[in-house]
Chains A and B, each alone.
Chain A
Amino acid sequence: MIDYSLKKFVQLLITVLGVVTLVFFTLRFIPGDAASAMAGDAISGEALELLREQMGLNTPLIAQYFSYLRGLVTFDFGVTITTQLPVSDLILRAVPVTLSIAVLTILLTVTLAIPLGTLAALMAHRGQSGLDNAITGTAMVLDLMPSFWTALVFLLIFSLTLGWFPASGSVSFDNPMEYLKRIALPVLVLSVTQVATMARITRTAVLEVLSEDYVRTARAMGWSEMRVLFRHALKNAALPIVTVIGLSFGNLLNGTVIVEFIFTLPGIGNLLINGINSRDYQMVQTLIVFYALLFVIINFATDIVYRALDPRVRF
Chain B
Amino acid sequence: MTFQTDIDAPLLDVRALRTEFGTDSGTVTAVDGVSFAVHAGERVAIVGESGSGKSAMAMSILRLLAYPGRVTGGAVLLNGRDLSALSERQLSAVRGRLVGTVFQDPMSSLDPVMRISKQMIPPIMRALGLSREVARAEAILWLDKVGIPDAEKRLDAFPFEMSGGMRQRVMIAMALSCRPRLLIADEPTTALDVTIQAQIVEVMKKLTAETGTAMMFITHDLGLVARFADKVAVMYAGRIVEFGPVREIFRTPSHPYTQSLLSTIPSAKALRHQRLAQIPGMPPDMKTPPQGCAFRERCAAAIPRCAQQPPELSPRGAGHVAACWQPEGLTGIVRPECEARVRPGSNRALRDRTMVEINRLTKHFSSPRLLSRKPVPVVKAVNGVTLRVQQGETLGIVGESGCGKSTVARLLLGLEKPTSGEIFTDGLAQMVFQDPSASFNPKMRISAIIEEPLVVKRWGDRAARAARVRHLIAQVGLEEAHLNRYPSQLSGGQRQRVAVARALALDPSVMVADEPTSALDVSVRAQIINLLVDLKEDLGIAFVFISHDLLTVRYIADRIAVMYLGEVVEYGPADEVFDRPAHPYTKALIETVPLPDPVTEATRAPKLLQGELPSPLNLPKGCAFASRCPIVTDRCRAEKPVLRHPMKTREAACHYPHAI
Interface contact A127-B110, CB-CB below 8 Å: no
Q: Is A8 engaged at the interface, CB distance under 8 Å to the other chain?
A: no
Q: Which residues of A contact B174 (CB under 8 A)?
A: 221
Q: Is B374 engaged at the interface, CB distance under 8 Å to the other chain?
A: no
B residues 229-279 in Cβ contact with A at 8 Å: none
Q: Knowing A214-B108, A232-B111, A235-B113 touch, does A221 contact B67 (C-beta < 8 A)?
A: no
Q: Is B101 engaged at the interface, CB distance under 8 Å to the other chain?
A: yes
Mark interface residues in A98-135 (1 if CB within 8 Å of B CB, else 0): 00000000000000000000000000011100000000
Q: Which residues of B contact A76 (CB under 8 A)?
A: none
Chain B: minimal CB distance from A31 (Å): 39
Chain B: minimal CB distance from A234 (Å): 11
Q: Which residues of B contact A236 (CB under 8 A)?
A: 111-113
Q: Which residues of A contact B67 (CB under 8 A)?
A: 125-127
- For B, the interface residue count at a CB cutoff of 8 angstroms equals 32
Q: Is B68 engaged at the interface, CB distance under 8 Å to the other chain?
A: yes
Q: Which residues of A contact B110 (CB under 8 A)?
A: 214, 217
Q: Is B474 engaged at the interface, CB distance under 8 Å to the other chain?
A: no
Stretch at the interface among B88-96, B522-530, B581-589, B628-636: B88-96
Interface contact A220-B95, CB-CB below 8 Å: yes
Q: Which residues of B contact A125 (CB under 8 A)?
A: 66-67
Q: Please, how many angstroms separate the alpha-carbon atoms of A287 and B127 in the complex?
A: 60
Q: Which residues of B contact A127 (CB under 8 A)?
A: 67-68
Interface contact B94-A222, CB-CB below 8 Å: yes
Interface contact A310-B113, CB-CB below 8 Å: yes
Mark interface residues in A216-247 (1 if CB within 8 Å of B CB, else 0): 11111111110000011001100100000000
Q: Is B160 engaged at the interface, CB distance under 8 Å to the other chain?
A: yes
- For A, the interface residue count at a CB cutoff of 8 angstroms equals 26
Chain B: minimal CB distance from A251 (Å): 27
Q: Which residues of B contact A232 (CB under 8 A)?
A: 111, 114
Complex: chain A residue closest to B107, CB-CB: A213
Residue among A218, A220, A311 with the most chain B CB within 10 A?
A220
Q: Which of B94, B96, B112 contacts A214 (CB 8 A)?
A: B112
Q: Which of A211, A213, A214, A221 contacts B95 (CB 8 A)?
A: A221
Q: Which residues of A contact B171 (CB under 8 A)?
A: 217
Q: Please, how many angstroms separate the alpha-carbon atoms of A90 and B582 in the complex?
A: 84
Chain A: minimal CB distance from B361 (Å): 32
Complex: chain A residue closest to B110, CB-CB: A214
Q: Knowing A224-B89, A232-B111 touch, does A216 contact B103 (C-beta < 8 A)?
A: yes
Interface contact A212-B108, CB-CB below 8 Å: yes
Chain B: minimal CB distance from A207 (Å): 11
Q: Is B64 engaged at the interface, CB distance under 8 Å to the other chain?
A: yes
Q: Is B126 engaged at the interface, CB distance under 8 Å to the other chain?
A: yes
Residue among A126, A222, A310 with the most chain B CB within 10 A?
A222
Q: Please, how many angstroms separate the alpha-carbon atoms of A216 and B64 in the complex?
A: 7
Q: Please, how many angstroms separate the alpha-carbon atoms of A220 and B101 in the complex?
A: 6
Q: Please, how many angstroms separate the alpha-carbon atoms of A224 and B109 in the complex?
A: 18
Q: Please, how many angstroms separate the alpha-carbon atoms of A312 and B107 in the complex?
A: 14
Chain B: minimal CB distance from A296 (Å): 19
Q: Which residues of B contact A214 (CB under 8 A)?
A: 108-112
Mark interface residues in B135-172 (1 if CB within 8 Å of A CB, else 0): 00000000000000000000000101000000000010
Interface contact A217-B101, CB-CB below 8 Å: yes
Q: Is B123 engaged at the interface, CB distance under 8 Å to the other chain?
A: yes
Q: Is A22 engaged at the interface, CB distance under 8 Å to the other chain?
A: no
Q: Which residues of B contact A222 (CB under 8 A)?
A: 92-97, 123, 126-127
Q: Which residues of B contact A217 (CB under 8 A)?
A: 101, 103, 109-111, 171
A residues 191-229 in Cβ contact with B at 8 Å: 211-214, 216-225
Complex: chain B residue closest to A127, CB-CB: B67
Q: Is A309 engaged at the interface, CB distance under 8 Å to the other chain?
A: yes
Q: Is B435 engaged at the interface, CB distance under 8 Å to the other chain?
A: no
Q: Which residues of B contact A216 (CB under 8 A)?
A: 64, 66, 103, 109
Q: Is B105 engaged at the interface, CB distance under 8 Å to the other chain?
A: yes
Q: Which residues of B contact A211 (CB under 8 A)?
A: 66
Q: Which residues of A contact B62 (CB under 8 A)?
A: 220
Chain B: minimal CB distance from A256 (Å): 33
Q: Knowing A126-B67, A220-B62, A222-B96 touch, does A235 contact B114 (C-beta < 8 A)?
A: yes
Chain B: minimal CB distance from A13 (Å): 14
Complex: chain A residue closest to B22, CB-CB: A127
Interface contact B88-A225, CB-CB below 8 Å: yes
Residues of B within 8 A of A (CB): 62, 64, 66-68, 88-89, 92-97, 100-101, 103, 105, 108-114, 123, 126-127, 158, 160, 171, 174, 178
Q: List the 4 closest A-B pairs by CB distance, nearest first.
A: A222-B96, A222-B95, A220-B101, A221-B96
18 additional A-B pairs beyond A217-B110, A218-B111, A310-B113, beta carbons within 8 Å, are: A126-B67, A127-B67, A214-B109, A214-B112, A220-B101, A221-B95, A221-B96, A221-B101, A221-B178, A222-B92, A222-B95, A222-B97, A222-B126, A235-B113, A310-B112, A311-B113, A311-B160, A312-B158
7 residue pairs from A and B, CB less than 8 Å apart: A214-B108, A217-B101, A219-B95, A222-B96, A223-B123, A236-B113, A310-B112
